[in-house]
Each structure stands twice: as C-alpha cells, then as structure tokens.
Amino acid sequence: MSIETSPVFLLEVATDQPIEADLLDGIAEQQLVHWEDEWMPVLRDVVARMKAAGIERSKWPQSLHWDWRQKAQGFERALANPGFCVMCQGMTQGMMFLDLLHKARIASQAGKELVYIEYLENAPWNRRHIAGDQVRFAGVGSILVRAAIELSREEGFKGRIGLHSLPQSNPWYANTCGMTDLGADPDYPHQLRYFEMTPEQAEAFLAKGNTS
Amino acid sequence: MKIEVTKDWCIRMARLEVETGADMGIGGAPAVANPDAVALDPSSGSMPETNIAFGRFVRLMRRKRRQTVESLAEDAEIDVAELVEIEEDNHHRPEPRTVYQLAKHFDLPTPSLMQLAGLSAAKNASFYAEAIRFAARSETVEDLNDIERAALEAFVSVLNDRK
C-alpha cells in the first residue's frame, strides 16, 4: 500500500515563520527509526534529569512507555488501523494511530461509527513541558486531529472522532478542540478521560482555523 | 488519502497551540498512579517487605514460565530495564503501568499486585504477613525448588483470593 503525501505547514516557534511540511497517511520504517534514534534519547535524557532533580513522576513525559514499533507491527496488517505522521525538515514531528472499529458514546450519536485515535504523540522537541522556550514547531497536533476528522468524513462517519487523553492534554481537547468530556473511563488503564467530537464540533474545530 | 489544508489554517491553529501551551498526547498509560490507589509516601520507607516480595514474586513467576527477562518484558510489553530493577533492586518503586501489564500477563488481579508492589495500601495486615512469609521462603536460586514452588503457588492463591 503506497503512502500519500499532503502539503501542510508548521509554525517555527523561534522565528514565528511558516515552514513547509508533509502529512503522510501512513507510518513506515523511517518514522520508527526516528522514534527510536531521535525521540527516545531525548525522552530518556529528560527523565534522567527530572529524576535527578527530584521532580515527581506525574510531571514526567507521559508518553514514555509508548512503543511505536510494537504498535506498528501489531497494526501493520490491519486495514482498520491506519496511521498518519507529520514530516518536516527530514524529521518525524508527530505520529498517530487510528482505529475504525469504535462506536460513539455521546447519547445523541450513540452506536454510530467514529474514528478513534488510539495513539498520538508529538516529537519531544515540540512539547512545551519538555522543550520549554526552545519548542521547535507548533501545529503538529492540530494537523493530526484534522487528519482524523477528514478520514472520519471520508469513511462516512461525518467527522466523529473519539480519544482517551493523557492528563496533561485534557485542557487542549476540552477547550481548544471543543470535544465533549465524557469523564474518566473506568475500563481504560489509569482511567484516562474519554473525549468525543460530534459532526457539529468537528465543523467548529475546522472553522476555528479559518477565522482570523 | 489526500487532505487539503490551507497554510492559513495550519498557522492559525499552530498559534493557538503556542498560546495555550498545549500538549496533545493521546492513549497509552500515563506515568501517574492509579487515582483509586492509596498513595504511599516512598520516603517513609513503608512496606519494604512487600517490595522484596514483589521483586521475588516477579522473578519466580518468570522462572516458573521459563522466560528470560527479555522475553517477559517483550510479552508483557514493559521496559526491560525496569524489569531488571524490579527483580534486582528492593528499593525500586515500579511504574503503575508496569504493574498493570504484569498483572495482565500473569492473569492476576491488578489491585493485589499494586498492593504487593507498594503502590497502594492493603486493606488489612494479613496481606503484609503473607508477603513477608513469601519473601522469607523464596530465596533466589537457579531452579525453582519444591519449597519455592509451594510458596509461589500459595501466594498466587492469596493474591487471587483478593479479587
């Protein structure tokens, strides 16, 4: 299966300038190598420094245990689990795995199909709580969420998406994405909060980037 | 799948991300304790016996299954370095997600293993007495001997009784 590329733009935070990037509708060996060789050393270094400084574990990067290679190998034959990534300046800036077999939980949409975002991670140098004022690129998360919405529309799910957010990310999905917070999910590890986006909320999210 | 996204849209949303200082992680298990668990103060030195018992328990369960550290880490989807720390360092405080994965792999109730790992408090003292008894009986040798096997099986039944 070939991977298609769509042109997108990221914001280079240091210069406040748009930078050309690509949205790919797949995750290949190159992205997994970037995760292993570029992302993980940064994350391990950050954790080592936080540990040495006595910073509590709840403040550590919450995606430390994700294993993209394992997920990619597990999903690679499953057509129900497409992936997307954002590439910029030859480096993977963010990745996302999806699942097309989930159903909506919001009462008004209950039982209808949606695109469930199984995993989404930004490169460590793009995360404020890791890179601080040295954040390299902004916009990766929004582009990946938009990709999930666009896929939902293409599949006939009208833009419905669902996800379990890591605690550090709850405000973004609730406030900026305008998703419905269905609360802590007792059936999910560590009872992460479950968020869902209706077709109307998907429209509103897309419109948010069109208004000046 | 081709997606049409304008430059303006990308940049406006990127500026929103900068303004809100947003992080976008989704899925997986965070590095925070189970909110239902009763947190123990690691500096208080609480329940050192359960820490010893937890490391020994994991090691014996692995050996009973004739697994290497690497293969258990791979099968249980946990970090091999942390598994080594669990087995070798009695003062290591394991990640909740690791304990959750081990409980799933060993087919044991997660709350019981959380208690044994010192991540939550047991509801009664008999649990700690069982853990101490298990730790005392289970010296680490190459092959599981009959006494170790009996101690392991007895303790597994204690953990399962707490479902």
pLDDT in tens, B105-148: 888 887 778 878 877 766 566 666 677 667 666 655 456 777 77
Rounded CA-CA distance B8/A210 in Å is 7
pLDDT 10s digits, A41-59: 888 888 888 878 887 776 6
Contacts of B26 in chain A (CB under 8 A): 96, 117-121, 163-166, 169
Is A120 within 8 Å of chain B by CB? yes
Is B42 within 8 Å of chain A by CB? no
How is residue B112 written in tokens?
């019981």
- What pLDDT score was predicted for residue B39? 30
Contacts of B36 in chain A (CB under 8 A): 191
pLDDT by position in tens, chain B (length 163): 899 999 999 999 999 999 888 777 777 654 433 333 323 333 333 444 566 778 888 888 888 888 888 889 888 888 888 888 888 877 777 888 888 889 888 888 877 788 788 777 665 666 666 776 676 666 554 567 777 777 777 777 777 775 5
Buried b (16+ CB within 10 A) or exposed e, A98-129: bbbebebbbeebeeebbbbbbbbbbbbbbbbe
Is B23 within 8 Å of chain A by CB? yes
In order, the DSSP letters of chain B are ------HHHHHHHHHHHHHHT----BSS--SS--TTS----GGGT--HHHHHHHHHHHHHHHHHTT--HHHHHHHHT--HHHHHHHHH-TT----HHHHHHHHHHHT--HHHHHHHTTSS--SSHHHHHHHHHHHHH----SS--HHHHHHHHHHHHHHHHT-
Query: Which residue from B3, B29, B30 is facing A150, i.e. has the nearest CB?
Result: B3
B111 CB-side CA count, 13 A: 13
- In degrees, rounded to 5, the angle at the alpha carbon of residue B116 between the alpha carbons of residues B113 and B120 is 85
pTM of the model: 0.65
pLDDT 10s digits, A103-130: 999 999 999 999 999 999 999 999 987 8
- What pLDDT score was predicted for residue B141? 47
Its ipTM equals: 0.92
- What pLDDT score was predicted for residue A63? 66
- What pLDDT score was predicted for residue B45? 38
Asked if B5's CB is within 8 angstroms of A23's CB, the reply is yes
